[in-house]
Structure 1
Amino acid sequence: MKRNYLLSDSIISPLGFGTVENLESIHRGRSALNFHKNPIFSEDGVYAGIIPEKIINEAFNQIGNPELYTKLEKLIILAIQEVLNENPGLKLQDTGLIISTTKGNIDQLGKNEFPEERLYLWKMAEVIASFFGFEKKPVVVSNACISGALAIKTANDLISAGRFAKVIVAGGDLVSDFVLSGFQSFQAISPEPCRPFSNDRQGISLGEAAAAILIGPNGKEKEKIAYVDACTANDANHISGPSRTGEGLYLSISRLLSACNIFPEEIGFLSAHGTATTYNDEMEAIAFNRTGLEKIPVNSFKGYYGHTLGTSALIETILTKHSLLKNELFASVNFSESGVSKPLNLIKQHIHKELKLALKTASGFGGCNLAMLLKKETDE
């Protein structure tokens, strides 16, 4: 079976429009998490990563009428457009489109600015696909916070099955009142920028962003990143709380490494979910120790972006791809001292290291977990 590769990509976030701008911001240690007043849920407001719609509209004016699309649709369209700009010969009749999101246009609830059916995920996907002229019906992947990574796995599976020649995986979510109130009801929102795995962490920070990546069998670059395999498992522990033993994540990782004949010490880098909530970080630390990954350099990108829900694992996979290509480990920003019961090798500053294999993990509500293995291949 031919291997598929992570090809062109784009990240649209408060840190920049395009992957290059995002990587430059991360190199500078810049975080998207700023203070925003929101008197509905908090007198003092919240820290979050939010993109002003005015900036989005200015960028969108170059390709279409921003008044015809919701904020999230515009973000996802901009991300896909960048990927298409880098691949002018891509045949859309043979290319699939997979959209990953958790809540879609939920911010439009009750506003009556667009037809009510735009609240449905399938309709949002159709609107985005129609903008570009994709000939085949788009696929929606919405499985809590593993959605972005699961969409990449789905893309690989559909290409391998012969349904598409290539696939663009695109995703996005917004910081909406609906989402913010939900996490606030759990008392899970941090009063300061989130601090994954730290002893002084106080919860998550939310963020909004969109991303897109082209998946396919042709990796013509001298150095390219291959999708090796991914494994999912559900611990069926609780509708929102993770397993205290990390069982689902442990099964995902252990089964993946076993299927790929990979030993834990061969992994050069581990990109964790790292939400900075008490139970998530502890669960991950336990699972990583159970699978022998406690010495592998690990980070969380949530301190840069906040939790971007259905696009978080997609963005973090793109950043992991570039870590492999650049032989660079990015610091887990805002980390202070370890606040989990098991040892982890948290990356405290950007460092260069020869890398070949990376593991991306994600976990989400309902007990879903995913582990994905990426490999750098070099043509002699």
Structure 2
Amino acid sequence: MRVFINGIGVSSPLGMSIKQFSSNIFSGELFWKLINKYKTTYNIPSFTACGFTETTSLESIVKQAFFNACIDAKIIKRNEDKTLICFATSNGLEDNIFKSEDSKLIDAMSCHTFLIPTVSSKFKKFKITCFNTACASGGDAISYAYRELKYNHYKQAIVIGADTLSPITASGFMSLGAMSLKGCKPFTTNRDGMSLGEGAACIVLSSQYTSNSYSEIIGVGQANDHYHITAPNPDGTALFTAMNNAIREANIKPSQINYVNAHGTGTKLNDVMELNALHKVFKDIPSVSSSKGQIGHTLGGAGVFEAIIVALAIQRHRLPPNIVGQNKLLENAPFIVTTSKTSNIKFAISNSIGFGGNAVSIVIKDLEK
């Protein structure tokens, strides 16, 4: 069976609609803000993030992204087909997690029961599966949904990736020395780390092509190099394997890939590792950019956000930029796209990498090919 992306929805500081989000992404808009709300209560220093202007709940942004995607896919009435729901999150925690009563804390850290009434309003029969593989969660959720549709276990699937800012996330990355002070600038010589982002992204996958279809997923690859609980293997072994497996399943050659949306966190270790993997896979590396210089690292939502950006890039024949400001690119990265430009993208890859050595690559194809 074939697997098409038939609907997309977002809830992000860069836009609460696909039109607004897409416009801001391709025009290179930045929405960095200084987050200092954890200083007093948790003694966490201020940091830069792509955050909402007002504190928002995980439930509210998930609902908005979900309903936006359903409307985009023209799922108006309650659907009778059994639908797979894949929810991806890194931790699903919110600002007030430690202020909650014990019962609420348990709910927040489980399967997020708000998904059930939300989904049941659109689908009569469904199965919900949750993914928590750190920053690879969104990519893993898409890969699972793709295979379930490919082997005809379901006709349609909804993949939701979401995380909001939380004190645990902020303090965790700070303790690793991985946080940027000014906003991440992936693949630059003076990059100083990653910047958190928050939001929810949702895609509707279907085995049925429609006039509303954006693009087609034709291959996925997943790997784990068992190198370290947090640090990436400098050789890029897991990502190299994941990209190769995805390209092989897609039944194409590396030379046919026109664009790679990199994981690109802007940390010293990750960017070097990812470039090493790219140089191993491609003889001539295609255009590459990281969206985290705009949306920040949305953790469990990253893989879904970035798959959406790839789908939009393919549909609009336009490369999204890798924001670098006045910074210089690394010497072995001349293929990084620093300003949005027109490009006839036939095949593209979306990469996601998570703690523990997880790596996911997804090959997405133009419907005209």
TM-score (norm 1): 0.89
Which region of structure 1 is more displaced relative to structure 2, 343-352 or 259-268? 259-268
Give the whole-Å Cα distance in 2 for the aligned partners of 1:235 and 1:92: 41
1:337 to 317, 328, 332: 328
Q: Identity of counterpart residues, as a percentage? A: 25
Matched, 1:5 2:20: no
Shift of 1:140: 0.3
Matched, 1:219 2:215: no
Q: Please list every run of 5 or more consecutive structure 1 residues that lacks an aligned counterpart in the other structure.
A: 57-70
Check conservation: 1:294, 1:345, Cα contact below 8 A: no
Check conservation: 2:219, 2:248, Cα contact below 8 A: no
Instruction: Tell me which amino acid in the other structure corresponds to 1:120.
Output: M
Shift of 1:167: 0.8
Q: Please list every run of 5 or more consecutive structure 2 residues that lacks an aligned counterpart in the other structure.
A: none
Instruction: Tell me which amino acid in the other structure corresponds to 1:211.
Output: A
2:163 to 154, 158, 173: 173
Matched, 1:115 2:101: no
Give the whole-Å Cα distance in 1 for the aligned partners of 2:268 and 2:284: 19
Which region of structure 1 is more displaced relative to structure 2, 190-199 or 222-231? 222-231
Q: In angstroms, what is the RMSD of aligned CA positions?
A: 2.0
Shift of 1:92: 5.3
Check conservation: 2:219, 2:247, Cα contact below 8 A: no
Tell me, what secondary structure is at the counterpart of 1:345?
A: coil
Give the whole-Å Cα distance in 1 for the aligned partners of 2:169 and 2:334: 30
Where do residues 232-251 of structure 1 align in structure 2 (5 Å cutoff)? 232-251=222-241
Which region of structure 1 is more displaced relative to structure 2, 320-329 or 248-257? 248-257
Tell me, what secondary structure is at the counterpart of 2:98?
A: coil
Shift of 1:378: 2.5
Q: Report the equivalent of 1:60.
A: none
Assess, with a 3 A threshold, how the Cα gap between structure 1 residues 182 and 92 changes in structure 2: closer, same or farther: farther
Shift of 1:339: 2.9
Check conservation: 1:166, 1:217, Cα contact below 8 A: yes
Tell me, what secondary structure is at the counterpart of 1:346?
A: coil
Shift of 1:19: 1.4
Give the whole-Å Cα distance in 2 for the aligned partners of 1:169 and 1:261: 24
- Listed one character per residue, the Cα deviations across residues 112-137 of structure 1 (whole Å, up to 9, x for unaligned) are 26623212332x0x321223314333
Assess, with a 3 A threshold, how the Cα gap between structure 1 residues 16 and 354 changes in structure 2: closer, same or farther: same
1:91 to 53, 68, 79: 79
Shift of 1:90: 5.5
Give the whole-Å Cα distance in 1 for the aligned partners of 2:69 and 2:136: 22
Tell me, what secondary structure is at the counterpart of 1:347?
A: coil
Q: Report the equivalent of 1:63.
A: none
2:59 to 68, 73, 80: 73
Shift of 1:42: 5.0
Q: Report the equivalent of 2:21.
A: 22
Shift of 1:53: 4.2
- Listed one character per residue, the Cα deviations across residues 193-247 of structure 1 (whole Å, up to 9, x for unaligned) are 1100000100010010101110001222287411101010101000000001111
Tell me, what secondary structure is at the counterpart of 1:104?
A: coil
2:356 to 337, 345, 366: 366
Check conservation: 1:105, 1:118, Cα contact below 8 A: no
Assess, with a 3 A threshold, how the Cα gap between structure 1 residues 152 and 293 changes in structure 2: closer, same or farther: farther
Which region of structure 1 is more displaced relative to structure 2, 364-373 or 112-121? 112-121
Check conservation: 2:187, 2:333, Cα contact below 8 A: no
Shift of 1:261: 3.3
Where do residues 116-265 of structure 1 align in structure 2 (5 Å cutoff)? 116-122=105-111, 124=112, 126-133=113-120, 134=123, 135-221=125-211, 224-265=214-255
- Listed one character per residue, the Cα deviations across residues 311-358 of structure 1 (whole Å, up to 9, x for unaligned) are 011001001001000100111012532236x34400011110111100
Tell me, what secondary structure is at the counterpart of 1:139?
A: strand
Check conservation: 2:49, 2:296, Cα contact below 8 A: yes
Check conservation: 1:223, 1:378, Cα contact below 8 A: no
Instruction: Tell me which amino acid in the other structure corresponds to 1:80.
Output: F
Instruction: Tell me which amino acid in the other structure corresponds to 1:13.
Output: S
Where do residues 281-292 of structure 1 align in structure 2 (5 Å cutoff)? 281-292=271-282
Tell me, what secondary structure is at the counterpart of 1:192?
A: coil
Instruction: Tell me which amino acid in the other structure corresponds to 2:70.
Output: L
Assess, with a 3 A threshold, how the Cα gap between structure 1 residues 82 and 92 changes in structure 2: closer, same or farther: farther
Tell me, what secondary structure is at the counterpart of 1:16?
A: coil
Paired residue total? 359
Give the whole-Å Cα distance in 2 for the aligned partners of 1:15 and 1:223: 23
